[in-house]
């Protein structure tokens, strides 16, 4: 799926969530009428939101006819709201970049990577780096991040590559590539192996590729250099 496709999907999911935030429980017909789309389209959105743990379904008894289903937000769904977290993330990241001492910034990046890894760790399974990378890719796809895992060419099965077609942090990455270093550290923590950023959109690539089992050559040192202009 393209980046614009992911954006449209998030927007339509957010519209359903906002309707359920106002009305505690709605049926498919109510949502379809409110959004001006087909019942089939609503079912697809609701299925996606239920898989994400944001929406739950209950059975509504009818005096006559078949029971119906009503949809409402879960506790996690009620906690997610608005887009202000993007502004907050930008502010916090700029503050990280204002730290003048490279060693301190490196320490902050490492801690951020570990904290990010802690979010995914309960869902990541597997014993080898490749297995854990594939498991992580499944988790990321459930969070609407388009990605895949393949064997690195000529590696004889020793290296696995996570290819990300849509950046999870597009706003941050456009202004400061050190978020790429934090993501690399997160992946390294989760797969239990060294990880190198072998291709990046910021360098003109068509996607971002992280190679597990490959030595990282100065990724973090370059990313945590002097703060970028305007940071």
Tell me the average pLDDT across 207-228: 58
Domains in the chain: boundaries: 3-79, 100-223
Say if CB 184 and CB 220 are below 8 A apart: yes
Q: Rounded to an integer, what distance in angstroms lies between the CA atom of residue 207 and that of residue 205?
A: 5
Report the CATH architecture of 3-79: Orthogonal Bundle (1.10)
The pLDDT of residue 142 is 84
Confidence grade of residue 5 (pLDDT, cut at 50, 70, 90): very low
Burial 94-123 (b: 16+ CB within 10 A, else e): bebbeeeeeeebbebbbebbbebbeebeee
DSSP H helix total and E strand total for the chain: 10, 6
pLDDT tens for 98-130 read 888 888 888 888 888 899 899 889 999 998 888
Q: Is the pLDDT of residue 171 over 90?
A: no
Torsion of CA 187, 192, 196, 198, to 10 degrees: -70
Residues 6+ positions from 160 with CB-CB distance below 8 Å: 129, 130, 133, 134, 149, 150, 151, 152, 211, 212, 213
């Amino acid at each position: 799926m393209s980046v614009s496709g992911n954006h449209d999907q998030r927007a339509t999911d957010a519209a359903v969530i906002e309707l359920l935030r106002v009305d505690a429980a709605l049926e498919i017909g109510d949502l379809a009428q409110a959004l001006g789309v087909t019942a089939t389209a609503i079912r697809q959105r609701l299925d996606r939101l239920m898989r994400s743990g944001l929406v739950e379904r209950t059975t509504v008894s009818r005096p006559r006819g078949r029971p119906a289903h009503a949809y409402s937000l879960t506790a996690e769904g009620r906690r997610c709201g608005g887009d202000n977290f993007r502004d907050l993330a930008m502010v916090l990241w700029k503050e990280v970049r204002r730290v003048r001492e490279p060693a301190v910034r490196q320490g902050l990046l490492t801690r951020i990577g570990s904290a990010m890894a802690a979010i995914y760790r309960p869902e990541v399974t597997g014993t080898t780096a490749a297995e854990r990378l594939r498991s992580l890719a499944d988790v990321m796809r459930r969070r609407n991040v388009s990605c895949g895992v393949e064997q690195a060419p000529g590696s004889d099965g020793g290296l696995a590559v996570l290819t990300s077609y849509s950046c999870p942090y597009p706003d941050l990455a456009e202004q400061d590539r050190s978020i790429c270093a934090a993501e690399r550290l997160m992946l390294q923590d989760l797969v239990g192996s060294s990880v190198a950023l072998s291709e990046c959109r910021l360098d003109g690539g068509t996607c971002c590729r992280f190679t597990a089992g490959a030595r990282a050559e100065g990724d973090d040192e370059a990313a945590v250099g002097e703060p970028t202009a305007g940071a």
